[in-house]
Amino acid sequence: MPSSVANEGYQFQRANSRNQQNSSCPSRSASGSPAAVTPPSCGDVVDEALAELQLQSQQQEQMIQPPPAPPAAMGRSGWQVKSSKLAFNTHNRIRNIVESLKITPNPEKPMIPLSIGDPTTFGNLKAADETMKAVLHSLESGKFNGYAHTQGHEASRQAVAQYSAHQRPEGAIETSDVVLCSGCSSALEYCILALADRGQNVLIPRPGFCLYHTLAEGLDIEVRYYDLLPEQQWRADLVQLESLIDEKTAALLINNPSNPCGSVFDEKHLRQLIAICERHYLPIIADEIYEHFVFPGSKHLAVSSLTREVPVLSCGGLTKRFLVPGWRMGWIIVHDRKQRLGNAVIGLKNMCGRILGSNTIIQGALPEILAKTPQSYFDGVIDVLYSNATLAYKMLKQVRGLNPVMPNGAMYMMIGVSIERFPAFKDDTHFVQELVNEQSVFCLPGSCFEYPGYVRIVLTVPLAMIEEACARIAEFCDRHFKKDSSHSSSFIEHVLLDEDELNF
């Protein structure tokens, strides 16, 4: 027992003893003079003191005796280990849907997976020689085998600041504004967790990258979806978006260019989104990992370059443009000209301490990668993606029951499926499942992106493969399309393209 408790007990005993003595003393007479008192003998006082000390000693012995042994296992009858709420409530929607499919690819046709968002899968798109040599130089230097600053090496952050100068045209990005992360996914997680708390909500696009929901749901951060409109090149429904905002809304997340849509917002639309955030005092999380993946005729503008009023956390990285997703090198650039993020910036930087920084070998290579990879390399990658997009769009737009939306960037295309014209299938997921079983072509259903009635294909495969895949999709749709009198002629006649149409 703590000494303070024992002392309180001792003082209480003394006070109680005094009270008992006082209660035995004669009261004052009516005149106020004390009545005569016979003083106790010396022996009586000593006896009382000894008795009090003995009582205290007995009580102290009782207080320091160990408590009785608890029952075995403290009431547990066996092992009862449970997942944390965060872990249990963390779900990857794509994985959940794909694993639920009953797939047996057609053994007579080679598999064409148009579902994989890794641009290196097929071997036709490779990292630049300059990128590979930069990592070799970093490794051989022996300077980057230890820990770095949790936000990243100073020289590496400075390289990112210079590389991203277009995001802040009116002034230089400071090294302190850059946070290096373990991939862009980690950057997005840091931003969401730095701005939103349990019980708050963030606004994310629909259709949109399912990871946003995965990162938020386990922490009881509500996800509210604002709609993108396919008939308007996937621009946001501004009225519906603004109706979602309340006092618990922590941030607006903008993915531009978009996964899965391949859309690129123009300046007018970005300014409309900024105006909403300014009216409601909302910071922006900008997922701009595809910022340089833009097709001819379109232009990407960093949202941070269009506002000084609204704070923006821009997320980027090496993953897509440099074709090295496995290297896990991403970053956050803090754009907060008016210092409106408050201690959220401190919280953001504190997040870096959770893993003690990102891969230091790649950090060491960053300055050389960002400065020496030639523009001709990037142009070549865009040519492949744009050629594939154009071919797929021309072929699939002629398929009855399908409505492809031509992308303006990124590396994906969304294709509308008029599921009512395919009565053999109950939804987009069933459509995808049977497409694999019959034609060995694997797309992702729109349900993976909270947008049923569509499928998504990737555009990173070799040109011959995308052509073969689209021909198989056409054959599949021709077989299952619900024909009527207005569609009596053979579908394949409408699908076949003239050679001249494919020369682009």
Q: Say which residues have a Cβ less than 8 Å from residue 162's Cβ, sequence separation at least 6.
A: 173, 370
CA distance 95 to 341: 35
Q: Mind listing the pLDDT tens digit for each residue in 74-117?
A: 678 899 899 998 888 888 888 888 888 898 999 999 999 999 98
Q: Is the pTM of this model over 0.85?
A: no
Lowest mean pLDDT among 66-80, 238-252, 295-309: 66-80
**What pLDDT sits at residue 48?**
53
| pLDDT bracket for residue 65 (50, 70, 90) | low
CA distance 491 to 477: 9
Question: Which domains, from first to last, does the chain contain?
Answer: 95-123+376-480 (3.90.1150.10), 129-373 (3.40.640.10)
Q: Mind listing the pLDDT tens digit for each residue in 28-39?
A: 344 444 444 444
**What pLDDT sits at residue 55?**
58
**What pLDDT sits at residue 59?**
54
Torsion of CA 346, 350, 352, 353, to 10 degrees: 160
Lowest mean pLDDT among 373-377, 433-437, 496-500: 496-500
**What pLDDT sits at residue 192?**
96
Mean pLDDT of 127-152: 97
Whole-number percent of the chain with pLDDT over 70: 81
How distant, in Å, are the alpha carbons of 125, 178, 193 from that of 172?
33, 12, 27
pLDDT at 479 > cutoff 70: yes
**What pLDDT sits at residue 408?**
98
pLDDT at 41 > cutoff 90: no
* Cβ proximity of 294 and 160 under 8 Å: no
Helix, strand or coil for residue 130?
helix
Residue at 236: amino acid letter:
A
**What pLDDT sits at residue 62?**
54
Q: Say which residues have a Cβ less than 8 Å from residue 244's Cβ, sequence separation at least 6.
A: 201, 203, 224, 226
Q: Mind listing the pLDDT tens digit for each residue in 152-210?
A: 999 999 999 999 999 999 889 999 999 999 999 999 999 999 999 999 999 999 999 99
Q: What is the mean pLDDT of the chain?
A: 86
Mean pLDDT of 345-352: 93
Residue 301 backbone dihedrals phi, psi, to 5 degrees: -120, 125
Q: Say which residues have a Cβ less than 8 Å from residue 369's Cβ, sequence separation at least 6.
A: 130, 131, 134, 135, 318, 322
| pLDDT bracket for residue 68 (50, 70, 90) | low
Rounded to a whole number, what is the distance in angstroms from the first to the last CA of the chain?
A: 87
| pLDDT bracket for residue 242 (50, 70, 90) | very high
What six digits make up the tokens of 137? Answer: 């130089």
Residue that wins the pLDDT comparison between 455 and 9: 455
| pLDDT bracket for residue 484 (50, 70, 90) | low
Whole-number percent of the chain with pLDDT over 90: 73
What six digits make up the tokens of 444? Answer: 């992702």
**What pLDDT sits at residue 147?**
95
| pLDDT bracket for residue 45 (50, 70, 90) | very low
**What pLDDT sits at residue 99?**
84
Using H for helix, E for strand and C for coil, what is the string for 232-249?
Answer: HCCEECHHHHHHCCCCCE
* Cβ proximity of 411 and 119 under 8 Å: yes
Helix, strand or coil for residue 204?
strand
**Exposed, middle or buried by CB within 10 Å (0-12, 13-18, 19+), for 101?**
middle
DSSP state of 357: S
Mean pLDDT of 127-154: 97
**What pLDDT sits at residue 92?**
85
Residue 317 backbone dihedrals phi, psi, to 5 degrees: 165, -175
DSSP strands (E only) in 345-481: 402-405, 412-417, 441-442, 444-445, 454-458
The enclosing H or E element of 97 equals helix 93-100
Q: Mind listing the pLDDT tens digit for each residue in 318-337?
A: 999 999 999 999 999 999 99
pLDDT at 23 > cutoff 50: no
- Of 218, 160, 159, 149, the closest CA to residue 184 belongs to 160
Q: Mind listing the pLDDT tens digit for each residue in 354-409?
A: 888 899 999 999 999 999 999 999 999 999 999 999 999 999 999 999 999 999 99
Mean pLDDT of 213-219: 89
**What pLDDT sits at residue 49?**
47
- Of 92, 356, 405, the closest CA to residue 232 belongs to 405
What six digits make up the tokens of 291? Answer: 């910022």
Residue that wins the pLDDT comparison between 407 and 63: 407
DSSP strands (E only) in 350-432: 402-405, 412-417
CA distance 304 to 295: 21
Lowest mean pLDDT among 16-30, 126-140, 147-161: 16-30
**What pLDDT sits at residue 103?**
87
pLDDT at 498 > cutoff 90: no
* Cβ proximity of 232 and 223 under 8 Å: no
